[in-house]
Amino acid sequence: MHRQISNYLMDKISSGAWPPGMRLAPQRELCRQFGVNRSTVVTALGQLSALGLIEGRRGGGTRVAEVQAAADEAVSSPDPARTDLLPVPSAGSWNAYVEEGVHYPNLPTVQDINRLEYEQGLIRLGTGEPAPELLPGSAMTRVLAELSRQTLPPLSYEEPLGSPGLRSAVSRELAKNGIQADPDSILITSGALQGLQLIAVGLLPRGSTILLEKPSYLYSIHAFQSAGVKFSGLPMDEQGLQMDGLAREARRSKAAMLYSIPSFHNPTGVLMNAKRRQELMEVTGQLGLPILEDGAYQELWLDTPPPPPLKALDREGRVLHLGTLSKAASPGLRIGWIVGPEPVVRRLADIKMQTDYGASSLSQLAAARWLEGGYHEEHLQHLRARLRKRRDAVLDLLQRHFTGLAAWNVPAGGFYIWLSLDKPVPLRTLFRTAHKAGLLLNTGDLYDRGDNRHLRLSYVYASPAELELGLPLLAGLIRKLQQPGV
């Protein structure tokens, strides 16, 4: 077995798939990947080390050795097995490019989550997307069947702002929430995340600062930091972003923009009330401070509709509004939009054209039909009922297994429950321990670097049976980590 692993690793190195300087996965991860014990992995790595193909670095793990050094070592080796697979010496190293690109890598935990979400058998307790059984597969099949009978597929590029038909459909959908937006004020994006990236590189100068709630989803991605934009976090309470200190911090930091998720905030699930929204508009209006409103969860209310979006209160064109179909209808459709003043959306459209030349024409056609045909509203009614049932089931499980261990909010919509542990725990350790036990977590330090006592729980992905199994298991792991001396 160790020879098979050794040969597999050498093939990776010799083909260039693993370039010089690349860090190998930790031994425990290699054991998991290959399904073997540690001694087998150690033996395989020892063979590569003897050939000079890998090298250990203090504090830097095990990396692929520089090519020339590996070749010299292998030639002088008394048993240079597989020297036929050694790479040709090269003057450059891709590792330097990987580490020095202008776009920051994801946080290590986020990278782990992105990889582990596709691992079979894990119970995903923090995933921010609907479970496959909550997605409207049969309804979307009807949409596609209708389109196949009615029109030729659009195989060309769309306009820079996106399909006129989809923008008109989005305009009518926005009007239901009080947002009056002409189609020329709407830019179709490849999901709301692309909207954030376009705004980061297209509207904000390097070194500028944006205000945002803390914790915040933006801390878990690097769209703004990679563009040289800094964050200044503001505290929240159960009514949303606190107004005390907002004006003072905006002036101190010379903030260029404020980012907010007023409806069913990610990760806390908090709903900003109507009074707080009005105060926010008034304070930022006095400051002349633009707002970036993330409305990804606006329509996913469970009890009563939320207050109107900030964009619906905007009479000065200060609010950019992000929307998406990913949270309710289809993450894979990759359809989102930005609503704002026409010069702004044209600027962002120009950058988008330089990036990908527009969202998928086929996806835009399907999304337009989805909205125009009434499918979306019908699906939302069913989805809200099912999410309400799941939320209540999770709240019951928390009451049974986390009483005396943590506190939590009762979300009125969206996807998340913000679990606040009574005692802090090392969240990275909890993440690894939970993974070994078959659980995949979204820990609070992803959304606030200094956090050591929160978890983002999602009731939309794991099945009811998985939640019945996973949440009591999680409670036991937390109790164990909180014991003295652990």
Question: Which CATH number does the domain housing residue 366 bear?
Answer: 3.40.640.10
**Is residue 486 in a domain?**
no
User: In this structure, are 344 and 285 located in the same domain?
Assistant: yes
Predicted confidence at residue 462, as pLDDT, reads: 97
pLDDT at residue 85 above 70? no
User: In this structure, are 214 and 330 located in the same domain?
Assistant: yes
Contact assessment for residue 187 and residue 345, using Cβ atoms and an 8 Å cutoff: yes
Position with higher pLDDT, 462 vs 10:
462
pLDDT at residue 89 above 50? no
User: In this structure, are 49 and 115 located in the same domain?
Assistant: no
**Percentage of residues of the chain with pLDDT beyond 70:** 93
**Is residue 415 in a domain?**
yes
- Which of 50, 80, 100 is the C-terminal boundary of a domain? 100
**Is residue 328 in a domain?**
yes
CA–CA separation, 97 and 271 (whole Å): 42
Q: Indicate the pTM of the whole model.
A: 0.86
Output the DSSP codes for 430-466: HHHHHHHTTEE-EEGGGTSTT--SEEEEESSSS-HHH
Looking up residue 112, the CATH number of its domain turns out to be 3.90.1150.10
Q: Residue 182: which of 346, 339, 366, 293 has the closest Cα?
A: 339
Predicted confidence at residue 94, as pLDDT, reads: 73
Of 88-102, 296-310, 458-472, give the lowest mean pLDDT range: 88-102
**Is residue 257 in a domain?**
yes
User: In this structure, are 262 and 209 located in the same domain?
Assistant: yes
Predicted confidence at residue 59, as pLDDT, reads: 67
- Which of 347, 376, 405 is the C-terminal boundary of a domain? 376
User: In this structure, are 252 and 398 located in the same domain?
Assistant: no
**Is residue 314 in a domain?**
yes
**Residue 437: which domain range?**
108-134+378-481
Predicted confidence at residue 434, as pLDDT, reads: 97
Predicted confidence at residue 27, as pLDDT, reads: 87
User: In this structure, are 300 and 428 located in the same domain?
Assistant: no
**Is residue 91 in a domain?**
yes
Dihedral, CA of residue 228, residue 229, residue 233 and residue 234, to nearest 10: 170
Q: How many domains does the chain have?
A: 3
Q: Which residue has the tokens 């609070």?
A: 444
Q: Residue 390: which of 414, 421, 409, 420 has the closest Cα?
A: 414
> How would residue 381 be classed by pLDDT, with cut points 50, 70 and 90?
very high
User: In this structure, are 157 and 181 located in the same domain?
Assistant: yes
User: In this structure, are 268 and 365 located in the same domain?
Assistant: yes
pLDDT at residue 74 above 70? no
Of 134-138, 150-154, 453-457, give the lowest mean pLDDT range: 150-154
> How would residue 122 be classed by pLDDT, with cut points 50, 70 and 90?
very high
Question: What is the average pLDDT score of the chain?
Answer: 92
Of 10-19, 71-80, 316-325, give the lowest mean pLDDT range: 71-80
SS3 of 237-260: ECCEECCCCHHHHHHHHCCCEEEE
- Which of 100, 121, 154 is the C-terminal boundary of a domain? 100
User: In this structure, are 253 and 275 located in the same domain?
Assistant: yes
Give the chain's radius of gyration (CA, Å).
Answer: 25
> How would residue 68 be classed by pLDDT, with cut points 50, 70 and 90?
very low
**Is residue 189 in a domain?**
yes
User: In this structure, are 338 and 230 located in the same domain?
Assistant: yes
Q: What is the number of helices (H) and of strands (E) in the chain?
A: 17, 17
User: In this structure, are 125 and 160 located in the same domain?
Assistant: no
Predicted confidence at residue 14, as pLDDT, reads: 83
User: In this structure, are 293 and 327 located in the same domain?
Assistant: yes
Predicted confidence at residue 486, as pLDDT, reads: 59
Looking up residue 62, the CATH number of its domain turns out to be 1.10.10.10
